[in-house]
Structure 1
Amino acid sequence: MFCPKSKGILYTSFTLVCMLVLIFTCYYWSQQLSHPISVKRISSCRGRSAQDTITPLSDNKTFIISAYLDHRENITRVLSIIQRLKVKQLYCWFCCSLYGNMSITVARINVGCHQKFPYSVADVLCLEPSNCDPKYVSIHWSPEGDIDQLPTFKIRNREPNTFFVEFTVCISTMFGNYNNVLQFIQAIEMYKLLGAQKVMIYKTSCSQLIEKVLQYYTSEGTVEVLLWPINEYLNISPNWHYMNDGKDIGYFAQLATLNDCIYRNMYRSKFVVLIDIDEIILPQKHQNWKEMMDDLQEEHPDVGIFLFQRFLFPVNTLYRTDAFNISSWTSIPGVNILQHIYRESLVQAPGKLIVDPRKVIHTTVHRIIKGLGKTKRVPLKTAFIQHCRTVNYPKLHKDHLIKERILWRYNSSLIRNVNKIIQNIIIN
């Protein structure tokens, strides 16, 4: 349930209504999880194993992403995209590994934010039958059918792992034949300098040169790429809000990828960083994210969600200096963020997040709409987000901008590392 902010009596009344609706919704859906409605005896777990990031069901109105065991609620959470006004009922087909039974239960469909688009990200929630211990689940629009014809999804997170990494960065969507090569390399190298060990990217389309860069970082172990061909299944809108133009879903179904990234890293990363590739969280008082988050957690032990405020650094405004006009970079397509140190004075609302993924139930781009624990807005004196991108309005005069050179603290290491990547990937 997402309630926009307002002021005064209207806000109080609207908030109360939101709370009542949320309470009713939670109660209603809590009644929908049921005991098995059907148990079928089978000789072994069958079905065709789903291999892709997006798997369409035969109803052509439901698309399954991944299935995860949610230990906090003791349910199997199947992340999906559904046609929200037409998909009213789904069923969970569990393959019980202990007894060779196929146990079928009624699913609970929890629709996420949709901004009035016909399709929406959704959680298909499945209550696991007792004495079943399923490793795989199938989703179907009927309790009847042949298991051999259904795609089968491995239930991830059944056995929580110890943390493999401290920070994982989630880049939700790469699309539009993305070719901002220089800024991409700079961003990845900055994430590494700040403490990220893993960057996950959901890729729809990119240039050949970016593909080459991705292959390098993948072999290095820094980047994990998940193919996201959402445009092959749905008519994508470039907008967040529905424009009544026949589009199915907004902005390449970004909310689906963000939630998948959180659950995929729930037990393999201490923190998940939810930002775009043109954004960098820059600590003001610390050298890296670990030092910053250690202090923030010590000060706020009951907080698992940290909201960082953003400043826009317009690409339209350039800081001209020979120090960062590096000859080997001039032939590389993209933005050199070291030359864009002028920011707007006002904070860009809303912000972005670093979260403890085990404290998140469901997220949007800028806020957690269902989670465990409190949210803390991180003060600007501690850190801010540098958002370096092109703006649509006319170029601002430098007198109306603020010079912010905190990125230059990392310039020696950043230049050295970027030069290494360019030498290995592009020149060779």
Structure 2
Amino acid sequence: MINRFSPPPIHCQLWFANLRIPVVTSAIYHYSWRKKWGYTSDEFLQPYLITCPIRPANSSTNRTLIPKSVSLIETYCSNATNNLPIRYNQQFITKKEDFAVCVKGLDFMHTDISVRLVEWIELLYILGVKKIFFYQFDVHPNISKVLNYYQSRQLVQVTKISLPGTLPNLPGLRHSFLESHRPVKRQNEIIPYNDCLYNNLYSVQYIIPLDTDEIIIPLIHQDWSQLMTAVRKVSQTQEESHYASYEVRSVYFFDDVNYNDTNKPSAANISHTLGIPSYLHMLQHVYRSGTYLKVGWYAKSFFNTDHAVTIHNHILLNCFGRCTKYRINNTLAHVQHYRKDCVKELQKVCQNTYRKHILLDTSIWKYKAESMQKTSNVLTQLGLLTL
């Protein structure tokens, strides 16, 4: 984050193991926000990615060496007052994994979502995710217990984060600040998402930013791998063989929607008949809005790490080359977003647009047996299952 909208030019000092003096190049700013979203004045910290072009360090062979560290300096001849080590792991990776999920800073000081979190994590693994990367502010002790359990099994990675600059970092004050300053919160979410991207740039093919109340469900295929194989096949053209992002449309699954008349039994009654425990929120809630959110609204995406430069919760911001996008048809997959109500921006139209027509959608039940068993086993081990 930078404390001005138009930062001044700066330079990079690239330090190499076999060179006595650093190589200096001009840094490049990549603005990681959209001007139309507002909050682009110097009053707000601005999210930027700073890149440092690497010139061939060996002029005779034109071979590009890998720097060991980098410093940012104001002018070409300035002395460095900072130095960051460079982590380059491509040389140790022989094959990319398919999927990794990135989760923005968890901020659940007083809300215990531990049971729902286990159900969500286990379903992601069933869908083919290899690892989940959590970023954390402050969480309930039971959430910490869940994250520690999966981290000890190397299935998740947890990175504790703070707010930059002079923004508050006392736990209670920070929570209140983020709740009352939503745009600032959204701008700061850019940092963990892109940290997740660059930590997995060479090891994972697709990065998927998700919140813990949403899941991408394939409607025809069994998992994400089968889904993306089919999507890549139907999306290929002479111009595009691999897109920078594959977007999935969202639909609401409201927490309070139940049908209680004789013709349409409640989801709770159906679930009880099928033996689904009441604590499995996603398997219990199988009524959704009959209206999908508009194309592009609050969508989620599979971001291709071969193309992504900077990412946002919903879209690619900058790419190597063009930011090409393919929209996955909602007959193939959709994002199931579990909420009490519509987002604030859609409150005025929520009742007539998204709550008026409700449909039964049991697509998630194809994972019922495996999800029930795995989730219940973990909850029992952690002592979180209240019988």
Q: TM over 0.5: same fold? A: yes
Provide Cα deviations, 1:318-354, integer angstroms capped at 9, x if missing partner: 5322245637x4xxxxx71222111112212231101
In structure 2, the residue matched to 1:104 is 24
Superposed, 1:47-58 pairs within 5 Å as none
For residue 129 of structure 1, report the CA deviation from its aligned partner. Answer: 4.3
Whether 1:403 aligns to 2:386 is: no
In structure 2, the residue matched to 1:416 is 373
Whether 1:257 aligns to 2:205 is: no
Superposed, 1:19-418 pairs within 5 Å as 81-85=1-5, 87-113=7-33, 115-117=38-40, 118-131=44-57, 133-141=66-74, 147=80, 149-157=81-89, 159=91, 161-177=93-109, 179-230=112-163, 233-234=166-167, 237-238=178-179, 249-251=184-186, 253-301=188-236, 302-304=241-243, 305-318=245-258, 319-321=267-269, 322=272, 323=274, 326=277, 329=279, 336-348=281-293, 349-371=297-319, 372=321, 374-391=324-341, 400-418=357-375
Change (3 A) 1:230 1:239: same
Provide Cα deviations, 1:226-252, integer angstroms capped at 9, x if missing partner: 11212685255447875xxxxxx3336
Contact 2:32 / 2:317 at 8 angstroms: preserved in 1?
Answer: no
TM-score, structure 2 normalization: 0.78
In the alignment, the residues of structure 1 paired with residue 228 and residue 256 of structure 2 have an alpha-carbon distance, to the nearest angstrom, of: 33
Match of 1:418, SS state, is: helix
Contact 1:352 / 1:366 at 8 angstroms: preserved in 2?
Answer: yes
In the alignment, the residues of structure 2 paired with residue 385 and residue 136 of structure 1 have an alpha-carbon distance, to the nearest angstrom, of: 40
Contact 2:99 / 2:205 at 8 angstroms: preserved in 1?
Answer: yes
Identity between Structure 1 and Structure 2 (%): 19
In the alignment, the residues of structure 1 paired with residue 305 and residue 336 of structure 2 have an alpha-carbon distance, to the nearest angstrom, of: 23
Provide Cα deviations, 1:157-201, integer angstroms capped at 9, x if missing partner: 563722352211111221142521222111111101111111111
Change (3 A) 1:83 1:158: farther
In the alignment, the residues of structure 1 paired with residue 182 and residue 377 of structure 2 have an alpha-carbon distance, to the nearest angstrom, of: 42
Match of 2:50, SS state, is: strand
For residue 287 of structure 1, report the CA deviation from its aligned partner. Answer: 0.6
Contact 1:307 / 1:352 at 8 angstroms: preserved in 2?
Answer: yes
Contact 1:137 / 1:155 at 8 angstroms: preserved in 2?
Answer: no
TM-score, structure 1 normalization: 0.71
In the alignment, the residues of structure 2 paired with residue 176 and residue 90 of structure 1 have an alpha-carbon distance, to the nearest angstrom, of: 38
Q: Aligned pairs, how many?
A: 335
Match of 1:175, SS state, is: strand
For residue 97 of structure 1, report the CA deviation from its aligned partner. Answer: 1.4
For residue 272 of structure 1, report the CA deviation from its aligned partner. Answer: 1.7
Contact 1:84 / 1:111 at 8 angstroms: preserved in 2?
Answer: no
Which runs of 5 or more residues in structure 1 are unaligned?
A: 1-80, 243-248, 330-334
**Residue identity in the other structure for 2:253:** F
Change (3 A) 1:144 1:425: farther
In the alignment, the residues of structure 1 paired with residue 190 and residue 180 of structure 2 have an alpha-carbon distance, to the nearest angstrom, of: 13
In structure 1, the residue matched to 2:172 is none
Contact 1:116 / 1:241 at 8 angstroms: preserved in 2?
Answer: no
Contact 1:160 / 1:267 at 8 angstroms: preserved in 2?
Answer: no
In the alignment, the residues of structure 2 paired with residue 208 and residue 420 of structure 1 have an alpha-carbon distance, to the nearest angstrom, of: 20
Provide Cα deviations, 1:271-290, integer angstroms capped at 9, x if missing partner: 22222111111111101111
Contact 1:163 / 1:270 at 8 angstroms: preserved in 2?
Answer: no
In the alignment, the residues of structure 2 paired with residue 310 and residue 141 of structure 1 have an alpha-carbon distance, to the nearest angstrom, of: 44
Which runs of 5 or more residues in structure 2 are unaligned?
A: 58-64, 169-176, 259-266
**Residue identity in the other structure for 1:326:** P
Change (3 A) 1:152 1:398: closer
